[in-house]
A and B are shown apart, each in its own frame.
Chain A
Amino acid sequence: MSGSDFLALSPLIALALTPLAVMVSIMIRRSHWAAAAAAIAGLVVSLVLLGAAANAAPRQVTPLIVVDAYSLFYTGLIAAATLAVVLLSYGYLELQTINREELYILLTAAAFGSAVLASSSHYASFFLGLEILSVPLYGLIAFLAARKRPVEAGLKYLVLAGASSSFLLFGMALIYFDLGAMSFGEIAARLGGASFALVVPGSVLILAGIGFKLAVVPFHLWTPDVYEGAPAPVTAFVATVSKGGMLALLLRYFYSSESRGLSPVMIVIAIIAIASMVTGNFLALLQDNVKRILAYSSIAHLGYMLVAFLAGGSEGAAAATFYVTAYFVTTLGAFGCVTVLSTRERDADRLEDYRGLFWRRPALAAVFSAMLLSLAGLPLTAGFIGKFYVVAAGAAASIWALIIILVVTSAIGLFYYLRVLFVMYERREPEAPEFAVLPAAGGGALAVLAVLLIWLGINPGPLVEMIRAAVAALI
């Protein structure tokens, strides 16, 4: 490996070293503050190194990892989102009396796995990234072991994630058996023109593994329970970082291995997208728990992203990437609000916890409203531009049926967002206002996310340009 290889890899290396740094800080002295600071420092370093790596990109480093504008964009997104989760976790864990520091080891390790996924160009790195991401998640979900639900959720995730990994491996094995190649580029070269018996079944099995992480129908069954059971900041992490890395991989794999040409697989993805939009939005209507509502809504949102993926071409990939970014900001913000409202005993996930919130804590309620409106796709928010971009990409590709389903189901989605929204503005009998102090770290992160949300909603131009440049590496 040459010097510029190392330079290109430097953000990933920094991410890989971050959990070790946190470990060392715990070994020296167990201090919540120091552990969080080590995690933040590592993430910031990795974000800073992105600039240096961009100078060395695009570059294939070993057959496993490719560093280009696209992977760097997602790596940055993942690191920034993890940073937000760390900030949110800090205030949340301050309330807990258990050993808190290990959370940061697991978080940063999982973030590393997700970034590897986003940079992988080979089945081996794909699988390694997936497992580096998954294994810390088991621990993260069950982190508050004193409560009942987290353990149950963690166990559920463990079993289902294990099963999906084996599907994935089997799919890879089938394709390898037929083609004799594991790197995406070589798969594309060997697929060219000829037809192979096992490639389609193999791709569908791989899709099952990807679909599990993305929590799209029919691989979504774990989602509501894990979202509900996991501690709120971890839920934010599961909803964003873990899905974002996998979506990056999905785009990369299908674009660079020419698997988009496999029409049966694309039909399967279309069915998955439709089922996710319909199921996610309809089941969210039936929920009373804010975390479960957000869980089902995230299923629907991943369905929207698949529509952009199906639109294809550079605009489809750009729309999907923009949507992921908007979804990151929005979801982190929404779960951030849940996080800062949570108490020592339980997470603020009942609708009741939000009743009249606006009259007690207007700023927080305003932030949460903005996030919900963005999820619903109303203007002035990033979510609107994201949805607009997806619909535009779909319209350009003339996949009208999918677009109409997207529009109709997202109109249904309004119902449950409005429900939460209205509860917050419901008048309560006058009572003493609460002067709960927001944790500084979490509050700061929320403020930044809210500003970002509105900024992207009003002036998305620069980000769109950046994303277009990034996905150009993909085509």
Chain B
Amino acid sequence: MILLWLIVIPIAAGAVAGLAGRWSKPAARWVSLAAVSADFAIAVALWVRHAGTLSLAGRPVWIVEWRREWIPEFGISFHLGMDGLSLLLVTLTFFLGIVSVLVSWTEIREGVGFFHLNLMWILAGIAGVFLALDLFLFYFAWELMLVPMYFLIAIWGHGRRVYAAVKFFIFTQLSGLLMLIAILALFFLHHSATGVYTFDYLALLNTPIPPGTATWVMLGFFIAFAVKLPMVPLHSWLPDAHTEAPTAGSVILAGLLLKTGGYGLIRFILPLFPDAARAFAPAAMVLGVVGILYGAIAAFGQTDFKRLVAYTSISHLGFVLLGVFAFTPLALTGAVVTMLAHGISTGALFVIAGAVQHRIHTREMGRMGGLWDTMPKMGGAALFFALGSLGLPGLGDFVGEFLVLLGTWPVSRVLAVLAAAGVLGATLYALRLVQRVFQGPNVHQWRLPDLNAREALVIGAMSVVLLWLGLYPQPVLDAFSPSPAVAQQEARR
């Protein structure tokens, strides 16, 4: 029941905020803030309550589960379940949910009610994706994220927002439809094997699939997740969408939406199609490394602050793809930590990019330079998160990428070495970003207000989390360890 609340609260709050926004803009903001805070509190409470049991071996995998019949005619149930992986990602979801409400506080001035309606519904959809244990429900939630995100980009975005929004929509919708076909194929394969019509994840896990068919069905899922992740060459929607979206949109896109792709790989591809995934792993790993290098090189070439950060996402998420398909527990753990740390560090960079853009109305780095003089706190924060992004030991990203590299080494040394070269590339683009924006002479004579209390609160909280992930990741590793164990076990079967 508590899991249902995680989804229902944002949906209800969105509706309330949408209506309230017509009369009072602050009301819409406060309602949304209260809703995401409440959900965050629930997620943290669940974590605290189950912290002791999460790391024990032999525990039931799902710490909370909730199930009701929904459309029994089609074998569809409303089945939610939370394990360590879902718990981590749901917590991240509502943490970044709070961040995105706060960063929109003054940035969004028009259509405030409708903005928060969209924001809340995206978060509900994302939470639904992380919690759904019924494939139909999963697809439902997967699509629920889509339309509000489209509106968020298309209405409150910048510059070429319509182009970016439509591109985002078409990419994700088309890949989502491929996934729907794959889900249905699985549904019918299960029926022909057992005579039961069901979309239940736990039932479908044990579906015997002929190897040839399995590859095709897996590809249907894989393409959907690879577009979201995004995997090169299916990434071309990302730079546009991230760049043109409002700050909250960028934070959610980079911090959460991309993670649904990684989550899907771990939750569905590995356990459902262990053999096909194993056969496909070399190709996926190569694509992951291509993404790491391509993202780093492309990021280095950008002159637009947000676009640069967008390309770094491609690079970081390449590590996730690599880690998932390396098929070692270390690499898989690394992939999950990378997902979390990337959500925080890249999210924070987008917050800073948004704050800069809000002040000087441009994202061109050529128009910046020397901003440290006038905004030392923001400069320091940017340096901190840039260091996180380049993988400085002590910050979260390092832990994740290090574990991925460590886990990949026994599988393929060549790929591990090439991926490590990607970390080197990260150093170049991250330092160049700080240099061009904040250091050097203040040639344009900017006189700008530094971080205000609200921004400082957001940035401060994000830095604490990133430090925590980097210095003491054990609680996260504990929370997650049962889940990859299961995934590995399934993969080995």
Contacts and interface: CB of A to CB of B under 8 A. Distances in A.
A373 B155 contact: no
Contacts of B139: 379
Interface stretch (B146-154, B291-299, B425-433, B480-488): B146-154
Contact of B181 (A396, A403, A465): A403
Contact of A411 (B73, B114, B173, B184): B173
Interface residues of A, number: 32
Interface string A378-402: 1110001000110110011000000
A414 interface: yes
A392 B184 contact: yes
Contact of A422 (B114, B162, B181): B162
Given A396-B188, A425-B155, A391 B180 contact: yes
Contacts of B146: 378
Nearest to B69: A461
Interface in B314-334: none
Given A395-B188, A414-B169, A425-B154, A379 B71 contact: no
B174 interface: yes
A461 B71 contact: yes
B393 interface: no
B27 interface: no
Given A379-B139, A461-B72, A395 B150 contact: no
Contact of B143 (A358, A378, A391, A459): A378
A208 to B, nearest CB: 32
B286 interface: no
B25 to A, nearest CB: 15
B154 A391 contact: no
B409 interface: no
Given A380-B144, A407-B180, A425-B155, A461 B73 contact: yes
Contacts of A465: 73
B355 interface: no
A119 interface: no
A407 B177 CA distance: 7
A39 B22 CA distance: 39
A200 interface: no
Given A359-B111, A461-B71, A373 B173 contact: no
Contacts of B140: 379-380
B166 interface: yes
Contacts of B63: none
A418 B169 contact: yes
A395 B185 contact: yes
Nearest to B170: A414
Nearest to B165: A422
A464 B71 contact: yes
A277 to B, nearest CB: 14
A147 interface: no
Contact of A373 (B70, B73, B147, B170): B147
B177 A392 contact: no
Contacts of A127: none
A359 B113 CA distance: 12
Interface in B139-194: 139-140, 143-144, 146-147, 150-151, 154-155, 162, 165-166, 169-170, 173-174, 177-178, 180-181, 184-185, 187-188
B155 A427 contact: yes
Interface in A194-229: none
Contacts of A395: 181, 184-185, 187-188
Nearest to A396: B188
Interface centre among A384, A395, A464 (most CB of B within 10 A): A395
A404 interface: yes
A100 interface: no
Nearest to B192: A396
B23 interface: no
Interface in B10-33: 22
Given A422-B154, A461-B70, A468-B73, 10 more contacts: A358-B114, A378-B147, A407-B180, A410-B177, A411-B174, A414-B173, A415-B166, A425-B155, A427-B111, A461-B73
Interface of A: 358-359, 362, 373, 378-380, 384, 388-389, 391-392, 395-396, 403-404, 407-408, 410-411, 414-415, 418, 422, 425, 427, 459-461, 464-465, 468
Interface of B: 22, 70-74, 110-111, 114, 139-140, 143-144, 146-147, 150-151, 154-155, 162, 165-166, 169-170, 173-174, 177-178, 180-181, 184-185, 187-188
Sorted from nearest, which 3 A-B pairs have the closest CB atoms? A379-B143, A464-B73, A411-B174
27 contacts: A358-B114, A362-B22, A373-B147, A379-B139, A380-B140, A384-B143, A395-B187, A396-B188, A407-B178, A407-B180, A407-B181, A410-B177, A411-B177, A414-B169, A414-B173, A418-B169, A422-B154, A422-B165, A427-B110, A427-B155, A459-B70, A460-B71, A461-B71, A461-B73, A464-B73, A464-B74, A468-B73
